[in-house]
Amino acid sequence: MYALRRTLTTRGASFAGSGVVLVLAGVLLGQHDVTRVGVLLLALTVASLVIVRRHGLHLEVSRSVAPGRVAIDQRSVVTVRVRNTETSATPILMAEESIDYALGDRPRFVLPALRGGVTQEVQYTVRSHTRGVHRVGPLQVRVRDPFGLTLRTAAVSGHAEVVVLPRVVPLTAGRSLGSGIGSEGSIPHMVALHGEDDQTVREYRDGDDLRRIHWPATARTGDLMVRQEDRPAKRRAVVLLDSRAEGHGGSGRSSSLEWCVTTAASVTAHLVEGAHAVHLLTADPGTDTGTRHDSTVERALDTLARVRLGGTDDMRSVLHDASALTGQGGLVVYVGGPLGDDDAHTLAALRQPGSSGVALVVEPGSFGGSRSRRRDPAANDVAEATAATLRASGWLTTVVDAATGPAEAWTSVVSSALVGAR
């Protein structure tokens, strides 16, 4: 009965109810014409139920999104292909796509009657003002009888994703921290595909040019040794993103987490342009170590698109894994909220002597999406304490609020480095 009630529209329920009343009234009062009208209403309702259920609605839906990775406010075209897998033709279907709220209103369209094996293709565009991985699907289909008495709905499984990358803000004055070529934190990269730990001399291999034989090393080892051509070393840069819930404030696009994600994406892209070998570390409970490590801009942006608020211990996992990357020096950049004393000292120790450390510490109390929101003095004190701990260890630090943009914060830190150098 519950399923029947859900199938009947308001008009269908009225017809069915009126039909039952008229049949009973006609029988009790002996009015055959009234009984016939009641039977007609009930027969019409039953016929409508048969019409909407004559097809099993066995549909196959596939989707493609082009492009699948987009910037904020960039449009993607979603192509939906609906195939009738039954031999009988489908009725005319009203379809509605289930999409994440951030992508806009749900697209609605009408699918014509499809013969068996026929595919119908429909396209629509989506756009998001916020970064993230947004879901498209499943498809909701509805079929209504010609009289509007019954309505059948079904959800066709299957979905796709639209990855909206974080915004990348152009940064300036980045080369004051180094041009990317030099000795600070650098390890030579060799032409041979052995990574950062290759040596400049290696054993002779078949096919090597004999003119590259290194005779002093050959005499010392007793084996033929050849020179391996170096290419300019890249400075290492490690970017740490804090995603702890307790370290951030606000919600939505005006939250401090979104500010940090945008800043981390901008700093990563900026340092890569400055010829740094950049490593982005963020918390990811789905990995074995609890930390996501990305060494290319494309992978870093994909990771940042998926960043969500996490637990208290997430940052500790990031700091632990970062120590293996910063042990040989290089630039360290921290973007996040205030830390406790122990975590702040652990972060401070990541900067090696002769290397640079940059910390952009957000003040969570200033983020909330309302201009009238007052700053929390206690939260500000904690942010200042974290900045003071890092500053005492030689870090370049600044405390930022909701009114400070990523480019402004980065410029202020780099400017302080220039002043100190003079």
Q: Is 144 exposed, middle or buried (0-12, 13-18, 19+ CB in 10 A)?
A: buried
Tokens representing residue 55 in the block? 């097809």
Yes or no: say if 272 and 236 are a contact pair by the CB < 8 Å rule: no
Instruction: Evaluate if residue 280 carries a pLDDT over 90.
Output: yes
Tokens representing residue 40 in the block? 């007609």
pLDDT confidence bin for 368, thresholds 50/70/90: confident
pLDDT tens sequence across 2-28 = 556 677 888 888 888 999 999 999 999
CA 62, CA 78: separation in Å to the nearest integer? 10
Structure confidence at residue 324 (pLDDT): 85
- Lowest-confidence pick of 20-34, 44-58, 160-174, 355-369: 44-58
Structure confidence at residue 359 (pLDDT): 95
Average pLDDT taken over every residue of the chain:
83
CA 121, CA 78: separation in Å to the nearest integer? 10
C-beta contacts of 23-29 below 8 A and 24+ residues apart: none
pLDDT confidence bin for 417, thresholds 50/70/90: low
Structure confidence at residue 373 (pLDDT): 43
Burial letters 381-411, b for 16+ CB under 10 A, else e: ebbbbbbebbbebebbbbbbbbebebbebbb
Structure confidence at residue 265 (pLDDT): 95
pLDDT tens sequence across 142-154 = 888 888 888 888 8
Whether the ω angle into residue 285 lies within 30 degrees of 0, i.e. cis, is: no
Instruction: Evaluate if residue 370 carries a pLDDT over 50.
Output: no
Cα-based torsion angle of the residue sequence 268, 406, 396, 326 in order, rounded to the nearest 10 degrees: -20
Type of residue found at 211: R
Instruction: Evaluate if residue 167 carries a pLDDT over 90.
Output: yes
Characterize the bridge pairing of strands 119-127 and 75-84.
Answer: antiparallel
Measured in whole angstroms, the distance separating CA 176 from the mean position of its chain's CA atoms is 31
Average pLDDT over residues 267-294: 85
Q: Helix/strand/coil (H, E, C) string of the chain?
A: CHHHHHHECHHHHHHHHHHHHHHHHHHHHCCHHHHHHHHHHHHHHHHHHHHHCCCCCCEEEEEEEECCEECCCCEEEEEEEEEECCCCCCCCEEEEEEECHHHCCCCEEEECCCCCCCEEEEEEEEECCCCEEEEEEEEEEEEECCCCCEEEEEEECCCEEEEECCCCCCCCCHHHHCCCCCCCCECCEECCCCHHHCCCEEECCCCCCHHHECHHHHHHHCCCEEECCEECCCEEEEEEECCEHHHCCCCHHHCHHHHHHHHHHHHHHHHHHCCEEEEEEEECCCCCCCEEEECCHHHHHHHHHCCCCECCCHHHHHHHHHHHHHCCCCEEEEEECCCCHHHHHHHHCCCCCCCCEEEEEECHHHCCCCCCCCCCHHHHHHHHHHHHHHHHCCCEEEEECCCCCHHHHHHHHHHHHHHHHC
CA 104, CA 162: separation in Å to the nearest integer? 13
Structure confidence at residue 80 (pLDDT): 94
Structure confidence at residue 195 (pLDDT): 38
Structure confidence at residue 179 (pLDDT): 42
pTM of the complete model: 0.75
Structure confidence at residue 147 (pLDDT): 84
Instruction: Evaluate if residue 299 carries a pLDDT over 70.
Output: yes
**pLDDT above 70 as % of the chain:** 85
